[in-house]
Amino acid sequence: MIRRLFLPLVLIVAGFVGGLVITGRMRLVDDSSAATAPSLEFEQSTSAAPRPATPPPSAPVLPAGAIDFTRVAAQGVKGVANISSVQVVRRSNSPFGNDPFFQYFFGDQDPFGARDRRSLSLGSGVLVSADGFVVTNNHVVGDNVREITVALADKREVPGTLIGTDPATDIALIKIDVKGLPALSWGDSSKLQVGEWVLAIGSPFQLSQTVTAGIVSATGRANVGFADYEDFIQTDAAINPGNSGGALINIRGELVGINTGIFSQSGGYQGIGFAVPSNLARHVVDDLMKFGEVRRGTIGGILSIDSLSPQYAREIGATDTSGAVVMRMRRDSEAYEAGVRAGDVIVRFNNTPITDPSQLYRLVADARIGSTATLRVLRNGRSLDFRVPIVSDVRARQ
């Protein structure tokens, strides 16, 4: 009987003791939590204390092999300005001025009359000297310009004076009465290589100090229809309306071109832009500074030249279409007296083979005025040499 009562008694006592142990541990945990609470509050109050000033951002970390344009771009935008010019354009009062039917009957005689109207042209310009000479495109200032305003990178707007223009290369030179300008240094465009990085800086759509990056796609581009004297740098750096006259610089910050135009079927950027090489632009600027005009050579008497067609090449026995065909010339001229005739195909100028009319134009234009050049022409399957004088090109100054 006692044994039967002993076992339940032991179980009851064991349960009672276990309950005391568990209850004590719970109290210990609560006490420890209460003891650590003040330290938590202290940490929070400590974190709310003022933090030390954040150090200024360092230079951007670039992947290995990447090029950092930030320094070059920051310096380049200082040497590029906004150009706005007011031109006087004579326009017809007739509502049918562009109607071919109207023009067929009246021609240049407009019974409605015409009047002068003001036209605003916007573009970019490059500071090429600290004393205020600014290079831009001829089509930016236009003909019959009345007012020119140059907006500098520091937000100053100053009036400009047109020193001279060169329609053959689409270059114009402006002077502003400001000293100490951050002019860009001239680079050597003859050292440009295809694939080299370049930056285009200008004011497309009046968005000042816009910088775009690309590469040199080609050099020596001609026959694109922008100017008479064409020797363009082609680039895929984005060039848009308003970029005309802006700077094309290399990764050393040197001016290697003057942005001129784009090839586009949409009117906007399509990856093909053109710039006048710095060596050519610098030559034009030097002449405009010294003479107010660009002095170029020409062959007196040759009025126009054209490309050699495959059909005409077969007729004269030429092996390819390289050369320039003399289309029109004057009888009372030095070239005619030397023996050159219309229909001749000029295939060599001095010691340089001629590939197309644009190349011949550049070679003659760059020849020294007063010198004598040797022309090799093809005529009826025969190769003939003539010596012709290089005279001043009067058309370049008109």
Same domain, 139 and 206: no
DSSP state of 50: P
Same domain, 75 and 169: yes
- The CATH number of the domain where 392 resides is what? 2.30.42.10
Mean pLDDT of the chain: 81
Of the candidate ranges 174-188, 243-257, 266-280, the one whose mean pLDDT is the lowest: 266-280
Domain around 89:
71-94+117-176
pLDDT at 165 over 50: yes
Of the candidate ranges 176-180, 183-187, 227-231, 344-348, the one whose mean pLDDT is the lowest: 227-231
Q: The tokens of 208 are what?
A: 């000042």
pLDDT at 19: 57
pLDDT at 158: 95
Of the candidate ranges 59-73, 92-106, 127-141, the one whose mean pLDDT is the lowest: 92-106
- The CATH number of the domain where 219 resides is what? 2.40.10.10
pLDDT at 151 over 80: yes
Give the end of a domain, one of 271, 291, 311: 291
Domain contains 251: yes
pLDDT at 115 over 70: no
Residues forming beta bridges with residue 114, ordered by sequence position: 92
Give the end of a domain, one of 258, 291, 324: 291
- Looking from the CA of 193 toward its CB, the CA atoms found within 13 Å total 3
pLDDT at 110 over 80: no
Domain contains 64: no
pLDDT in tens, 198-247: 999 998 887 888 999 999 999 998 878 778 888 899 999 998 888 899 99
Token pair 């202290």 in the structure block, residue: 42
Of the candidate ranges 173-182, 247-256, 310-319, 384-393, the one whose mean pLDDT is the lowest: 310-319
The answer to whether 388 touches 373, Cβ cutoff 8 Å, is: yes
The answer to whether 156 touches 101, Cβ cutoff 8 Å, is: no
Average pLDDT over residues 177-182: 95
Indicate the pLDDT class of residue 269, thresholds 50, 70 and 90.
confident
- Catalytic site positions: 139, 170, 244
d(CA 244, CA 260): 5
pLDDT at 286: 95
pLDDT at 337: 93
Of the candidate ranges 24-28, 172-176, 217-221, 344-348, the one whose mean pLDDT is the lowest: 24-28
Instruction: Tell me the CA end-to-end span of the chain in Å, nearest whole number.
Output: 140
pLDDT at 38: 40
Average pLDDT over residues 157-178: 94
pLDDT in tens, 254-267: 999 999 988 876 66
Q: What H or E segment, with its residue span, contains residue 366?
A: helix 357-366
CA torsion through residues 217, 142, 125, 134, sign: positive
pLDDT at 191: 95
Same domain, 171 and 196: no
